[in-house]
Structure 1
Amino acid sequence: MQIEALKILFAQSGLKFTNQRYVVYKAMVAARDHPSAETVWRRVREEAPAISLDTVYRTLAALEARGLVTRVPAGGDEARFDGDVTAHHHVVCLRCGAISDFTMTGATLTDLPPTVAAWGRVRDAQVLVRGICHKCLGPNDNTQPN
């Protein structure tokens, strides 16, 4: 994304454009692995060596509040984030923590029951599937996920 377009996007979202926000957002848009804040911090330090972990956390929170990134409810202690804000869902491995995207019909905002619409204004929705991925399953692994 061009810097000028990003400045406009930030302004429309009520965010001041800063170099720290730029590098964090750029890293999130490029990421496909649903990184944690600490992972984002390690990735952006090369381009912004003075950026603190706290700044990355605050930036991700500001981007999330404005719908520019999403938090993936993966469970565990570490928050994970997604820079792809198009409508999609997630599958999470309970052993290694890997997160993958998927889409499916019948699971969009227009498919929600009327009780959800009556609840208030919905910004987004996602299906979260949790289990154990093939990489973590052994050939004879019959254990149940936690």
Structure 2
Amino acid sequence: MEKLPLAEQMAQFEQRCRALALRMTPQRLEIFRLLAGEAGHPTAEQLHQRLLAQMPTLSLDTVYRTLATLVTHGLVRRVVTAESQARFEVALSEHHHLICRRCHKIVDCCWPQLDSAALPLPADWGRLDCCTLTGYGLCRACQQAETPAVAPPEALKPP
């Protein structure tokens, strides 16, 4: 999945905020800028810690309220995880997530076959706007760390 250049993401963000009549506060701009430049899926607490150096009066409550506003308007996506802390990302395109149960790393993945599949919805259900899959397992690094070391041959074992 390719990300747009940060300047282009910021321009689109400002345009969408104007269209939604959302004020362009310094907090909104910096929270979105940080998320747009992120490779991962940070928590509100992580975003707050990263922004404190440049915005020392920024409260954690402001970060939470700003993220809630951006999520409500579809500018940021809350990544659903099994852990209690919400994770966030810029909502650029529909995609799915793979989450490591040990280190909690989240990786984006595209699955066009799933996206185009007809889902078996009950006839009286209504309209489905979005469907994402979250897969849980062990990332390669955690899986390799779990693999026991190969025992040395008998000739190399200490007496």
| Equivalent residue number for residue 141 of structure 2 | 135
| Equivalent residue number for residue 103 of structure 1 | 110
Q: CA deviation at 1:117?
A: 8.6
Contact kept, 8 Å, 1:70 with 1:83, in 2: the verdict is yes
Cα 1:71–1:139 shift into 2, 3 Å: same
CA distance in 1, matches of 2:94, 2:124: 21
Consecutive unaligned residues in structure 1, runs of 5 or more: 142-146
2:82 to 75, 100, 120: 75
The Cα offsets for residues 2-48 of structure 1, whole Å up to 9 and x where unpaired, read as 66654322122342210111101111111111000001111122222
Determine which structure has more spread, i.e. the larger CA radius of gyration.
Answer: 2
Partner secondary structure for residue 74 of structure 1: coil
Contact kept, 8 Å, 1:35 with 1:82, in 2: the verdict is yes
- Please tell me the root mean square deviation across aligned C-alpha atoms, in Å: 2.3
Consecutive unaligned residues in structure 2, runs of 5 or more: 1-6, 150-159
CA distance in 2, matches of 1:12, 1:117: 35
CA distance in 1, matches of 2:38, 2:133: 20
Query: Which residues in structure 2 correspond to 1:1-146 (within 5 Å)?
Result: 1=7, 5-108=12-115, 110-113=116-119, 115=121, 119-137=125-143, 138-140=146-148
Q: TM-score, normalized by length of structure 2?
A: 0.77
CA distance in 1, matches of 2:41, 2:54: 20
| One-letter amino acid matched to 2:147 | P
Q: CA deviation at 1:112?
A: 4.0
Aligned length: 140
Contact kept, 8 Å, 2:74 with 2:91, in 1: the verdict is no
Percent identity over the alignment is: 32
Contact kept, 8 Å, 2:42 with 2:88, in 1: the verdict is yes
| Equivalent residue number for residue 3 of structure 2 | none
